[in-house]
Amino acid sequence: MKHVLDRILRHFIADGQLQVRWPDGSTSLYKGRNPGPSAGVVLHNQAAVRAMVINPGLGFGEAYMDSHLDPLDCTLYNLLDVLMLNAMRPGGHVAERLASALRYVRRGWIQFNPIKRAQQNVAHHYDLDNRLYSLFLDKDWQYSCAYFRHGTETLDEAQAAKKHHIAAKLLLNRPDLEVLDIGCGWGGMALTLAKDYGAIVTGITLSHEQLAFARKRATDAGLEGRVRFELLDYRNLHRRFDRIVSVGMFEHVGVGHYRQFFDVIKNALVEDGVALVHSIGRSDGPGTTNPWVNKYIFPGGYSPALSEVFAAVEPTGLWVTDCEILRLHYAKTIAIWRERFAAKRAEAVALYDERFARMFEFYLNAAELAFRVQGHMNFQLQLSRSISAVPFTRDYMAAAEKE
């Protein structure tokens, strides 16, 4: 098996270089023909070698979780940087390319998210102990891409700016507008829209942990009369709102449900209503979710290409009144999360165990690099039923952000 992996790596590493220490103690150096980052890996046993040959998309992460491999004279980030950069090259790892093709054929089933399955998928990640998320999130518990206007902001400042940026696009131009927050998380967006913009907000989630936390926050802030949180799937909505916001939830909808999602948006908006959907996307066209991420982090999740999103919006008759692409904002956000998690890693081990901590640090490192070297980004779509729901130009957004 060592000889097979040796041949694979000689073809796979085209950018930068990778040093490998084999289970027998010998080392090999794989130098690409193009300049790039350098890293090393220790393969502690044959299980790690097999993982990198047969199913690296899943097996590499599992091998790291099980301590079957470790970075060699570098950080996990450095190691993943080399591997993820080279994985983007056409050809790459033959076994992974075949596995990816098979995942694409099966992705309709993998991302099939009826209500019961959606609840199970949400619980897998979002019903983890809230103390875990407190280790690295900002004070408002924003678990989505922050907005760095200048690049020098603290995480708290950038997350506050993200909420303000989205609020500007929601055109909250009069008090008591009724706002729906689909996938409200721990309630930060809903509470901000009520407190700072005078909105009346309904937040919906499928996470029991987030629901209890958000409700307590509303009570503690004295906003129960303006904010309410419900355990509800978006497909069970039966009323209309002036505004709709959804941040970091569309990634969990599933490609087969996109048309249904935007139909719900249309039906839940008043005639002159405005919606804002904020999601992770990919710049390189339709694809599949990494199998390790699908198994351990976000089952049923997928970051779509804009071509897939617009194809689902167009038949609904909704207007896309604005689209913005945020390129490296999430990379910077996750970099801060990664550093914070590393600083409090021992607390994560105490909450769960060493294997879980290795899983979570692998997730944060790989997630950041997906935005730096694998074409991931964020998009914000502003939608309306009416051609005249928002002003002619974007000037009103800039004016609102200056307030």
* Domains detected in the chain: 1-92 (3.30.1050), 113-401 (3.40.50.150)
Average pLDDT along the chain: 94
Looking at residue 112, its pLDDT comes to 83
How do residues 170-203 score in pLDDT, each as one tens digit? 999 999 999 999 999 999 999 999 999 999 999 9
Looking at residue 88, its pLDDT comes to 86
| DSSP characters over 90-136 | SS--HHHHHHHHHHHHHHHHHT---HHHHHHHHHHHHTS-HHHHHTT
- Among 56-70, 84-98, 388-402, the minimum mean pLDDT is found in 84-98
How do residues 269-287 score in pLDDT, each as one tens digit? 999 999 999 999 999 999 9
pLDDT tier for residue 89 given thresholds of 50, 70 and 90:
confident
pLDDT of 29 > 90? The answer is yes
**Contact predicate 180/274, CB 8 Å:** no
pLDDT of 104 > 80? The answer is no
pLDDT of 137 > 70? The answer is yes
- For tokens 């992996």, the residue is 5
Percent of the chain with pLDDT over 90: 91
pLDDT of 321 > 80? The answer is yes
Looking at residue 322, its pLDDT comes to 98
Looking at residue 109, its pLDDT comes to 73
Looking at residue 3, its pLDDT comes to 85
Whole-angstrom CA distances from 110 to 99, 308, 325, 329, 375 are 14, 17, 27, 28, 22
pLDDT of 96 > 70? The answer is no
User: Mean per-residue pLDDT for 361-377?
Assistant: 98
**Contact predicate 210/236, CB 8 Å:** no
How do residues 200-233 score in pLDDT, each as one tens digit? 999 999 999 999 999 999 999 999 999 999 999 9
Higher pLDDT, 278 or 96: 278
Q: What region does 22 belong to: left with phi over 0, alpha with psi -120 to 50, or beta? A: beta
User: pTM score, two decimals?
Assistant: 0.94
Looking at residue 97, its pLDDT comes to 62
